Amino acid sequence: MQIAEVLQKLEQGARRLTPQREVIIRLFAEHPGRHLSAEEVHALVKEEASEIGLATVYRTLELLTELGILQRINFGDGRARYELNQEEPHRHHHLVCMRCGRVEEYGEDLLDSLEGRILEERGFKVLDHELKFYGLCRSCQKAQGHH
């Protein structure tokens, strides 16, 4: 996502580009593939010598999600996580390791054709979907073998 696009989305919502918001957006751009929680964002900001109140972090993540800049994901670890929203044709899914908790991306989206079928069969208009596979990553399978 380009910075220009972010600015445009902020304007659409009559929202200001504050230093805090800029830092948080940049942080996501600099950590592609990571799924950051509010607490992690807060800590990473602190590492950069700046400091943002935790409440502001929460409010910013909420705002950026509303504007479609971030996507909120729940991996069942008791806190919401966020990543930069992928543009439509490149939606991806997640492989969540049940042992070490690491999350890998899975590139392909195989569900588009299905969504049309759901509308026909069930009258349900799909706007978004979320697919997660839970299992064991390569190294945890080995670890299980000779533990």
Nearer to DNA, 22 or 112 (CB): 22
Q: How is residue 28 annotated by DSSP?
A: H
Q: How many of the other CB atoms lie within 10 Å of CB of 80?
A: 17
Burial class (CB in 10 A: 0-12, 13-18, 19+), 19: exposed
Binding residue for DNA, selected from 5, 8, 17, 98, defined by CB under 7 A: 17
Nearer to its own copies, 46 or 117 (CB): 117
Residues 38-67 that bind DNA (CB under 7 A): 38-39, 51-56, 58-60, 62-63
Residues 45-64 that bind its own copies (CB under 8 A): none
**What CA–CA distances, in Å, run from 80 to 6, 29, 110?**
22, 18, 25
Q: How many of the other CB atoms lie within 10 Å of CB of 25?
A: 21
Counting contacts by CB under 8 A, is residue 23 touching its own copies? no
Q: Which option in DNA, its own copies, none does residue 89 bind, with CB closer than 5 to 8 A by kind?
A: none
Residues 77-116 that bind DNA (CB under 7 A): 78-80
CA angle (8 as vertex; 115, 92 as ends), nearest 5: 30
Q: How many of the other CB atoms lie within 10 Å of CB of 92?
A: 14
Residues 6+ apart with CB under 8 A from 85: 1, 68, 69, 70, 71
Binding mask 68-107 for its own copies (x = CB under 8 A): ----x-x-x------------------x-xx-----x-x-
What residue ranges bind DNA (CB under 7 A)?
A: 14-21, 37-39, 51-56, 58-60, 62-63, 78-80
What residue ranges bind its own copies (CB under 8 A)?
A: 72, 74, 76, 95, 97-98, 104, 106, 110-111, 114-115, 118, 122-138, 141
